[in-house]
Amino acid sequence: MIERCLPTSEQVSTVSGLQQQQAVQNELKLKHQYQLSESELKAIRSQMNPHFIFNVLNSIEAYVMDNEKRKASRLIQNLLH
């Protein structure tokens, strides 16, 4: 007759504890990756905003210089909303 080796409650507890610890480590790693991604995105946005505003102002100036008041006005309204 073949006897099966069943894990003891201590072994089950140890495996469960290791799995829990690994899950916590994975969660921390994901949180750090998320924070890093958010920081990178914030840095990119801060670089883009001045360029965007500069381009919009140049477009508005071009419309004003070409006497296209309505287009300039619409662009300003869109910028503010």
Share of the chain above pLDDT 70, in %: 90
Model confidence at 4, pLDDT cuts 50, 70, 90, reads low
Encoding tokens for residue 19?
């799995």
Q: Which two tokens stand for residue 51?
A: 């360029």
Could you tell me the residue ranges of all domains in the chain? 12-80
- 54-66: average pLDDT: 90
Across residues 11-27, what is the average pLDDT?
Answer: 84
What is the pLDDT at residue 19?
A: 87
pLDDT, averaged across the chain: 84
More confident residue, 39 or 15: 39
- Calpha distance 49→43 (Å, rounded): 10
Question: With the CA atoms of 69, 75, 76 and 81 taken in that order, what torsion angle do they form, in degrees rounded to the nearest 10?
Answer: 150
